[in-house]
């Protein structure tokens, strides 16, 4: 028992050290990375299951650190949210996505870009103005950018979120409720907010093959969405079986490794030409 206790302690100590050193590393490097623009957006297609076409892509940020290579957003977004750096970082995401949308528009490519917003960004009074400015600068319409919000965005300050969603939606941008089903009071949000679609979280999709309750939950969520005339997007679709099930219950759009991983622009453009000839 003594041994065990020591091991546990050592593990815990190691864990703490790792956490602290990660925090210190992020704290010294993230701000610099933002000012030096060490980020890239990768784009993952969403397929319209009714038409088979890719009408939009989701922008997913990666940090290209000279020291550590490509870093996943799961590693730094939580810290960026905690420290408030998500505000300048999120601004960069919005501007970069708008730039890309402008390029595609010039090339005659009809494709929307969805960007992820954090709760903290919604509290920034500049958000809407920055959005409008980015659109004007790149000469694009609000309908070319979709916004993905999680439920955590809504619970922190529901009235603020409601007003913002209204503003975005009045401008003509689509608003999607991300990670749907993982937060709490999901259903009450649906009734109140002028959103365009719900995005079923990957965790449900992942369980389809062996979890009858996940299947029933998905079927019910889709039914509710349909009653409210909301579009349904499924994320994290990896297998043909999952796709068949989702199609069967009336899901409108799907995204996942079955179709494509998030890609850099050049790779996505190649993917688009091939997938449209399929």
The region of 73-81, 135-143, 201-209, 269-277 touching Ca ion under the rule CB under 5 A is: 201-209
Direct distance between the N- and C-terminal alpha carbons of the chain, in angstroms, rounded to an integer: 62
Closest approach of ligand C2E to the CB of residue 117, in Å: 6
61 lines the binding site for ligand C2E (CB under 6 A): yes
Query: Minimum Å distance from CB 246 to Ca ion?
Result: 15
DSSP line for 146-169: EEEEEHHHHHH-HHHHHHHHHHHH
106 conformational bin, left if phi > 0, alpha if psi -120 to 50, beta if neither: alpha
Residue 116 touches ligand C2E, criterion: CB under 6 A: yes
CA atoms of 137 and 35, how far apart (whole Å) = 20
Q: Among the candidate windows 17-25, 110-118, 130-138, 183-191, which touches ligand C2E by CB under 6 A?
A: 110-118
> Does 238 interact with ligand C2E (rule: CB under 6 A)?
yes
Which range in 136-144, 220-228, 231-239, 241-249 contacts ligand C2E by CB under 6 A? Answer: 231-239
Residue nearest to Ca ion (CB): 148
Q: Is 146 in the site for ligand C2E (CB under 6 A)?
A: no
Task: Dig out the tokens for 225 from the structure.
Answer: 């969405």
Quick one: which of 26, 147, 236, 251 contacts ligand C2E (CB under 6 A)? 236
Rounded distance between C-alpha atoms, residue 39 and residue 24, angstroms: 19
Shortest Cβ 162–ligand C2E spacing (Å) = 19
Contacting range for Ca ion; rule: CB under 5 A; set: 30-38, 123-131, 140-148, 264-272: 140-148
The residue at minimum Cβ distance from ligand C2E is 256
DSSP string, 178-236: EEETSSSSHHHHHHHS--SEEEE-HHHHHHTTT-HHHHHHHHHHHHHHHHTT-EEEE--
Contact 230, 198 (CB under 8 A): yes
- 56 near Ca ion, judged by CB under 5 A: no
The nearest distance, CB 200 to Ca ion, in angstroms, is 9
Query: Is residue 69 within 8 Å of residue 58, measured between CB atoms?
Result: no
Among 30, 85, 87, 93, binds ligand C2E (CB under 6 A): 93
In the complex with Ca ion, which residue's Cβ is closer, 29 or 195?
195
- In terms of C-beta distances under 8 Å and separation of at least 24 residues, what long-range contacts does 214-219 make, across chains too? 215/245, 217/181, 218/245, 218/246, 218/249, 219/249
Q: How many residues bind ligand C2E (CB under 6 A)?
A: 22
Residue 179 interacts with Ca ion (CB under 5 A): yes or no: yes
């Amino acid at each position: 028992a003594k041994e065990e206790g020591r091991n546990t302690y050592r593990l815990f100590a190691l864990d703490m050290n790792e956490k602290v050193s990660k925090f210190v590393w992020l704290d010294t490097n993230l701000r610099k990375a933002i000012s030096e623009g060490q980020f890239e957006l990768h784009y993952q297609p969403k397929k319209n299951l009714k038409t088979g076409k890719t009408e939009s892509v989701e922008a997913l940020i990666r940090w290209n650190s000279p020291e550590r290579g490509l870093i996943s957003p799961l590693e730094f977004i939580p810290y960026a949210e905690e420290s408030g750096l998500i505000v300048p970082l999120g601004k960069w995401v919005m501007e970069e996505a708008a730039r890309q949308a402008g390029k595609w528009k010039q090339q005659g490519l009809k494709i929307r870009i969805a960007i992820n917003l954090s709760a903290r960004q919604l509290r920034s009074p500049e958000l809407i103005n920055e959005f409008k400015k980015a659109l004007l600068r790149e000469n694009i319409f609000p309908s070319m950018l979709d916004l993905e919000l999680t439920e955590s965005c809504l619970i922190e300050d529901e009235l603020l979120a409601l007003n913002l969603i209204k503003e975005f939606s009045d401008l003509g941008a689509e608003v999607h409720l991300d990670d749907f089903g993982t937060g709490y009071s999901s259903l009450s949000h649906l009734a109140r907010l002028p959103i365009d679609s719900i995005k079923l979280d990957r965790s449900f999709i992942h369980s389809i093959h062996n979890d009858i309750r996940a299947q029933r939950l998905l079927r019910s969520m889709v039914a509710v969405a349909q009653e409210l005339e909301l579009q349904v997007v499924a994320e994290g679709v990896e297998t043909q079986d999952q796709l068949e099930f989702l199609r069967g219950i009336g899901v409108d759009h799907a995204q996942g490794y079955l179709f494509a991983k998030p890609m850099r622009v050049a790779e996505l453009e190649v993917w688009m030409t091939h997938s449209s000839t399929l």
